[in-house]
Copies of this chain bind each other. A is one copy, B any other.
Amino acid sequence: MEHIPILEMGNFLLVTIQVDMHDQLAMTLQDDLTNRISQTNADGVLIDISALEIVDSFVGRILGNIARMSRVLDAQTVVVGMQPAVAITLVELGLSLTDIWTALNVEKGMALLRSSLNKTKNQVKWRADDDAAD
């Protein structure tokens, strides 16, 4: 299997990582995901890693890269479903994923994205109101 499928759920994209991420697959995912974000105008990306029992520094770095790439394309990334052992490993590897939002499961991740999106919209609205008042 060469591509990890990217599912559209409203204005969010959902990626479920089930297989070990070797170099080529990770690069393909980065390409596919950034392309899909710009094609679909997605506001957020959910990456489910509940199937991953082990992560190494490579996967940690890839997740960080994807989050940063998505952000410059105006989409927020949330990593969901991380197993406790994975969290322990990541911190022990010195990768505390400060750039990445995390949530316990897809539903909570989606709620997080929605609330952040509403906040941003309100801020834009307030600014527009302020400009109108000037």
Which A positions have Cβ atoms within 8 angstroms of B?
Answer: 1, 3-5, 7-10, 14, 16, 18-20, 48, 50-51, 53, 81, 105-107, 110
Are A7 and B18 in contact (CB-based, < 8 A)? no
Contact of A107 among B8, B20, B51 (CB under 8 A): B8
Report chain B residues within 8 Å CB of A19: 1, 18-19
Min CB–CB distance A87 → chain B (angstroms): 17
Q: How far is the CA of A21 from the CA of B36 in the complex (A)?
A: 27
Contact of A16 among B5, B53, B81, B107 (CB under 8 A): B5
Report chain B residues within 8 Å CB of A4: 18, 51
Are B106 and A9 in contact (CB-based, < 8 A)? yes
